[in-house]
Structure 1
Amino acid sequence: MTHSDFDSFRPPEPARRRRPDGKRGGRRRDGGDGSREMPMVPEPEFTSYYGRPVVKPAPWGDDVAVYLFLGGVAGGSALLGLGGQLTGRPTLRRNARLSALAAVSVGAVALVKDLGRPERFLNMLRTFKVTSPMSVGSWILSAFSTGTAVSAVAEIDRLSNDRLPLGPLRSVLRAVEGPAGFEAALFAGPLAAYTAVLLGDTATPTWNAGHEELPFVFVSSATLASAGLAMITTPVREAGPARTLGALGVVGELIAMRVMEHRMDPVAAEPLRQGKAGAMLKWSERLVAAGGAGTLLAGRSRAVAVASGLSLLAASALTRFGVFEAGLSSARDPRYTIEPQKTRLARRRAAGITDDSITTAG
């Protein structure tokens, strides 16, 4: 028998019992009798190194969560601005256009603050990469902001009784105002949805598990926010399109969230129901229901319209912040990465797929 310096770390072996006839042996404690090979290595339990996260949590703070919310507000407001433009509702058109400009401006500031330096956003516009949600999203934001700014400046000029120092550009502004509203509305949907694609494209367990349904959740959330804001700022007589959009958003969000949670891996969906994120999403669901009920009565009462609008606006914010927080929480716990992987591996093996780069023969 060989000896080494590490023998002192070896746990002591239990004393062997002798049989009545003086011989060693007998039935093994593990159930074997010594006549056949027994497994010496137990079935491994997968965990991470010292319990540390398997994937690196996204280095995003509240600034990104604010941008996610305001991007939805801006996109939905641009759609309502076009609706007011096409249906002859000047107050709705004006308020929606100004809301879109304010939301996209503050959202852009939050995004640049998270990036650290403004030139980093400009650097993302140097190329256009279809396979990169960040690259595509940067161009969508730029195109949307251009149309929104033009149409909103026209509204500001009218509010000031044509006192802006535009000179001969005023006639040009009036001519391009309508097409700019169409252009902003064209990029409204992509602006509201691309952030969901961006989250789902990461390795963050909860975001990635819901990547197929998350864009529908975000678009529905955008309609809630923009409709709620328009119901607050616009008189009841012109807010009909906003109430209709809000009702559609209520149905869309409730269905999209249910479908997403149902189709996700049960373990990956847990952060959506637990902790801080779970509390926010539960309150969001309650406010969605309350705001949806209010939209049915908001056509008669300004007070009800404002209360319903506040409920829808808050529900949208809680949905965005809740989904954002759930993803960060899932990245911090290695369980949400490892257990869904084991489930997918077992499912592939059960289907007979055992000879590829993902699975191995049992």
Structure 2
Amino acid sequence: MRRGDRLMVPEAEFRSYYGRPVLKQPVWKVPDVPAYLYLGGLAGASSAMALCADLAGYGRLARSGRLAAAVGATASVGALIHDLGRPARFLNMLRVLKPTSPLSVGSWILAPFSALSSAAVASELTGRLPVLGRAAATTAGVIAPAMTTYTAVLLSDTAVPGWHEAYRELPFLFAGSAVSSAGAIGMLAAPGESGPARRMAVAGAALEFAAAQRMHQRIGLVDEVYRQGRAGAVWRAARALTALGAGAALFAGRNRAAAIASGLSLTAAAAATRYAVFEAGRASVRDPRYTVVPQRERA
């Protein structure tokens, strides 16, 4: 087409049939799935913290991490089963392992991690089978990174624009949020050994901020769902709480009040981040623009 020529047919504008959504709303429920996302990340990062603390000789911090991992993983399974409606549906997902399905792989991460974390804590609390308990805790710590991030892969592998468009950043966002929340647990539960936990909290917050900033810059139109409505309000609150918690963690070594404020802020921030991501995905499905326009831009 030469300069000065006019299009005989105007460029097509976005539309969908009667303005209806192109995709169906996710059937996952609130608060079950946001809780499942948050608790699973907390459990994985806490287990990794416990393993590292054990190797470094921080006994109380290690015990706090193992307990948080067991409670978080068990509660995460409970939230997932409640969302599914029947325990048999969760067991059905374990009948086969399908490597190409994030849901199948995630189920096979969640189930053994929960069992191992619970076995490790049961051994520690009862004093029975200490060798097996230590082996279970170590194995759970090895699985922990996958436990921390698989839910991000699970979301981004769907067609939901608010999740799929952020597929590169969501695992890092969830990992940073989980690490900061595990650090928060360490600061609250093991004040005498909170140095490594404080460093975890600050490092996790930094990773979370970097991933969020990168996501805002890259995902284009779909970024609107993270800036407006209920999801936007919760997202901004999560960012503010993360900044507050990370800042307080820098002074928490000499001030117990700062440690408590940091721990509570980072815990609330991690839960709010998961809810904001979940709600942003649902909002992106309601408006067909977020489905059609990015596809046309790629084409």
Partner Cα distance (1:343, 1:88) in 2: 54
Give how far 1:197 is off.
0.5
Q: Give the match for residue 53 of structure 2.
A: 84
Partner Cα distance (2:197, 2:126) in 1: 24
2:211 is the counterpart of 1:256: yes
2:270 is the counterpart of 1:302: no
Give ranges in structure 2 of 5+ residues lacking alignment: 1-6
Indicate conservation of the 8 Å contact 2:28/2:83, yes or no. yes
Indicate conservation of the 8 Å contact 2:14/2:289, yes or no. no
Q: Give the match for residue 182 of structure 2.
A: 226
Q: Give the match for residue 21 of structure 1.
A: none
Q: 1:218-271 CA distances to partner (integer Å, 9 max, x unpaired)?
A: 111111111112211222x2111211111110110010111112111x211110
Indicate conservation of the 8 Å contact 2:40/2:148, yes or no. yes
Q: Give the match for residue 188 of structure 1.
A: 144
Indicate conservation of the 8 Å contact 1:298/1:304, yes or no. yes
Q: Give the match for residue 43 of structure 2.
A: 74
TM-score (norm: length of structure 2): 0.94
Indicate conservation of the 8 Å contact 1:61/1:114, yes or no. yes
Q: Give the match for residue 73 of structure 2.
A: 104
Q: How does 1:30-45 map to 2 (within 5 A)?
A: 44-45=12-13
Q: 1:80-127 CA distances to partner (integer Å, 9 max, x unpaired)?
A: 211221122222122211111111111111100111110111111111
1:242 aligns with one of 176, 197, 200 = 197
Give how far 1:45 is off.
2.9
Partner Cα distance (2:20, 2:190) in 1: 51
Give how far 1:177 is off.
2.1
Partner Cα distance (1:255, 1:43) in 2: 37
Give how far 1:43 is off.
5.1
Q: How does 1:1-362 map to 2 (within 5 A)?
A: 44-62=12-30, 63-158=32-127, 170=128, 173-235=129-191, 237-264=192-219, 266-345=220-299
Give how far 1:155 is off.
2.4
Indicate conservation of the 8 Å contact 1:137/1:194, yes or no. yes
3-state SS, counterpart of residue 125 of structure 1: coil
Judge which range, 268-277 or 175-184, deviates more.
175-184
Q: 1:120-163 CA distances to partner (integer Å, 9 max, x unpaired)?
A: 111111111110000000000112112211211122225xxxxx
Partner Cα distance (1:83, 1:89) in 2: 9
Partner Cα distance (2:264, 2:124) in 1: 25
Partner Cα distance (2:126, 2:257) in 1: 30
Partner Cα distance (2:279, 2:145) in 1: 23
Give ranges in structure 1 of 5+ residues lacking alignment: 1-37, 159-169, 346-362
Indicate conservation of the 8 Å contact 1:83/1:241, yes or no. no
Partner Cα distance (2:261, 2:190) in 1: 13
Q: Return the structure number with greater relative CO, CA threshold 8 A, min gap 6.
A: 2
Q: Give the match for residue 10 of structure 1.
A: none
3-state SS, counterpart of residue 187 of structure 1: helix
State which structure, 1 or 2, has the greater radius of gyration over its C-alpha atoms: 1
| Identity in percent | 47
Task: From the two aligned structures, give the one with the greater helix fraction.
Answer: 2
Give how far 1:42 is off.
6.2
Letter in 1 for 2:21: P
